[in-house]
Amino acid sequence: MDNAYYSSILNEISSLLKIKGANKYKIRAYDTASNALRGLLEPIEKFIKDDSLTSIEGVGKSIAEDLVEISKTGTCKTRTELLDELDPGLLDLFKIQGLGPKRLKTLYDDLNISNLETLKKAAEDHKIQELKGFGKKIEETILAEVERISLNSGRTPLPAALQLAQSFRDALAKRDDVEQIQIAGSIRRQKETIGDIDLLVASTSDPKPIMDAFTKLPGVSDILVHGDKKTSVRTVQDIQVDLRVIDPQLFGSALHYFTGSKEHHVKLRTLAKKKGLKISEYGVFKVSDPSTPIASLTEEDLYEALNLPFIPPELRKGHDEINLAQESNLPTLLEQQDILGDLHMHTTESDGENSILEMAQRAKELGYKYIAITDHSQVLTVANGLNPRRLAAHIEAIKEANEQIEDFTILSGLEVDILKDGSLDMDEDLLRACDWVVGSVHISQKMSKEAMTERILKAVESGLVSTLGHPTGRILGGRGGYEYDMERVFIACAKNQVAVEINGSTGRLDFNAEHAAIARAAGVKITLGSDAHSTHGLSVMPFALGQARRAGLEKADVLNCLSAKDLLKAVRPSVHH
DNA sequence: GCCGTTTTCGGCCCGACTGTTTTCAGTCG
C-alpha cells in the first residue's frame, strides 16, 4: 500500500466524521494528518517499522494506531465503525455544491437519504424544501448538481486548465479598469490537476463592472456567486472560475490568500497568531491594531512581516515548508534558465512531425544548448519505431545535423521500449553507440506488480539506460499507470546511475511532483523531457519545470542543468566511463 | 485528535456569499 492509500483512508474518516457531526477539530486532525502523509518522502511502512509514526507532524497516538491497523488489514476500526453506522454512499454526496456536513446529516436523519439516487428522488418529490433550513432554491440546486455530477466529475489536468485560465485572464486584461490581473490558486502552485480556476484583479475603480463583464465572457454557462468582492461562474467545460477584485495596495496579500493552499494558510496563520499577528486577504495586521495592515503590497512583504523568507507558491502545500523557511533551509528552486537542454523528443523518423534540424533550431531559439533526439524503437510499429538498421542510419543523420548547427549539440538517442521480459528493444552495441537512451514501458502494461518490478529492474541494471521515461505510464485524467515497487526501483536507479524523467507532455506530467520528490530523497537524479512530437511540442517544458519546482528540486538534482558533456558522465558509467 | 521556549489543558485561520432568516447558520475556499 502506498502513502496515498493511507492518506485517502484518513480523508474518508474525516468525511464520515463530518456527517456524524463530530468535533470539528477532531475532523481537522484527520484532514491534517491526511495531508501530512501525502508529503512524506518515505513509505509509511518505514515509520511503522521504526515505531516513529508520531514523529510525523499531525500524527498523534490515535491516528498512529489507525495507521498500524491499516497496514495490517487495509482498514481500521475507526473507519469500520463509522461505516457500520453510516452509509458509504453518503461520501458521494459531498461532491454536491451547497450540501455540507450539516445539511447532509439532516437529509440522512430525516429523509434517510444516503446516496445520489435517493437524493434525486427526494428532490423530485419536493420532500427536501419542506425540511427546516432548506428551501425551494436549495432543492433546485440539488437537482442541477445531481445531473452535473452524473455527466462529469473530477479535476482538470493542469495544461488544459491553464489554457482556459489564460483565455479568461487575457479577455479581462484588455479592460482599462483592470490594472493588474493574475492567475492564482492551484494553477499557480503547479498542481497537476485543478479543481477550479482563481483569478485576481487589481483595480482602483468600482469592481462591479469588471465582475459583470466577467459573467458575460464567452464560455460562461452559469453564474454561481455574484457579490461585491467575489464572483464565481461555471464554464461550458464544467470548470468553476472565481474572480476577486481588490485594491492594488492589497494585491500581495490577496494574491497570497488566493494562491493557497488552504493547508499552508492554516499553518501560516497559526504561526502569525503566536506572534501577535493576524493574516487575511487584506494584509498582515497586529492584533492590537486591526485597522492598518503592516504588510499587503507584495507577497514578499507578507512573509517578511512574519520574519520568513519568501516561500514560492509551488511549495505552499502545508507540509514542512514553513519549518524549512524558519530554519532558512528552503530549497533554491530550479528556474527555466537553469534548463540547458531537452532530453526527450521525436522526429519524422518515427512518429514526430519535424526533422532533426528543425527540432534543434527551435530548441536553440528556446535558449537551450543541446537536445537529445529519442525516437521510438521497433516494437512500437504504430509509431513507426526504428529497427537496428534504421537506428544506425539515424545516428549518422543526427551527427550530420549536428555539424549544421552552431553553438549547439544534438545528442543521438533512442526511446527504447522495455519489453515484457525486461530486455531492451534494440541491439546492445547500438544502445552503446547512442549518447542518450530513454527507457520506457509502452506495451504490455497489464502485469502483476512483482513482474513489473522485475521488468523495470532488469532494464535499470542493464547499464544501457540513461533515464526512465514517463516512469509511471499514467495518463493525466485517464489511465492510472502501471504498478511496481518504486522503492526498489529507486534504490537500483541510484546504484546504477540511472535517472528518472519528469515528462512534460500535456497528457502525462509523469513523474508528478510527489514521485519526483521521493526519487530525489532516494538519491536518484531527475531529467526533464518535453516528449515533443513537433517543434510546437518543445514548449511544454514549463509543465515539467512546474512539477520539478513543486517537488522542491534544485539545480543539483536535475541533469538538464549540466553541460552536454557532463550530462553524459552522470549516467551509464559502463558506457561513458 | 493534536499540540506546547507562554500552556500536558484549552486552545485550534479568516473572510465572502447565499438562502432562509428576522440576526445568522451553512458552505466554500
pLDDT for A122 beyond 70: yes
Encode pLDDT of A239-276 as tens digits: 999 999 999 999 999 999 999 999 999 999 999 988 99
A23 touches strand B (CB under 7 A): yes
Cβ of residue A439 lies below 7 Å from strand B: no
Looking at the fold, whether A511 and A394 belong to one and the same domain comes out as yes
Check: CB of residue A539 under 8 Å from CB of residue A573. Answer: no
Could you tell me the CATH number of the domain that includes residue A297?
Answer: 3.30.210.10
Residues A524 and A409 in one domain: yes
pLDDT reported for residue A557? 98
For residues A410 and A375, is the Cβ–Cβ distance under 8 A?
A: no
Residue A24 beta carbon within 7 A of nucleic strand B: no
Whether residues A452 and A342 fall in one domain: yes
Measured from the Cβ of residue A537, the count of other Cβ atoms closer than 10 Å reads 22
CA–CA separation, A20 vs A104, rounded Å?
Answer: 9
Task: Please say if the pLDDT value at position A577 is more than 80.
Answer: no
Q: What are the tens digits of pLDDT across the range A534-549? A: 999 999 999 999 999 9
Q: Return chain A residues 390..419 having CB < 7 Å to nucleic acid strand B.
A: none
A353 and A471 belong to one structural domain: yes
Tell me the pLDDT tens digit for each residue of A289-312: 888 899 999 999 999 999 999 999
Residues A163 and A133 in one domain: no
Please count the CA atoms within 13 angstroms of the CA of A573 that sit on its side-chain side.
7
pLDDT one-digit tens code per residue, A10-37: 999 999 999 888 888 999 999 999 999 9
A331 in any annotated domain: no
End-to-end CA distance of chain A: 38
Assess whether pLDDT exceeds 70 at residue A338: yes
Residues A48 and A175 in one domain: no
Mean predicted confidence (pLDDT) in A513-528: 97
The arithmetic mean of pLDDT across residues A444-471, rounded, is 97
Whether the CB of A25 is less than 7 Å away from nucleic strand B comes out as: yes
Whether the CB of A523 is less than 7 Å away from nucleic strand B comes out as no
Domain that holds residue A229: 156-246
A103, A136, A151 - which closes a domain? A151
Tell me the average pLDDT across A432-438.
97
In chain A, residues 168 through 197 whose Cβ sits under 7 angstroms from any atom of nucleic acid strand B: 185, 195-196
Domain total for chain A?
4
Quickly give A57 CA vs B4 C1' distance in Å: 13
pLDDT for the residue A186: 95
Task: Give the residue with greater pLDDT, A485 vs A577.
Answer: A485
Task: State the Rg of chain A over Cα.
Answer: 26
Asked whether residue A315 falls in the same domain as residue A374, the answer is no
pLDDT at A478 over 80: no
A265 touches strand B (CB under 7 A): yes
Let me know if residue A400 belongs to a domain.
Answer: yes
The average confidence (pLDDT) of chain A is 94
CA separation, residue A506 to residues A94, A285, A338, A541, A542 (Å)? 29, 41, 21, 10, 10
- A417 DSSP β-pair partners: A440
A60 and A26 in a common domain: yes
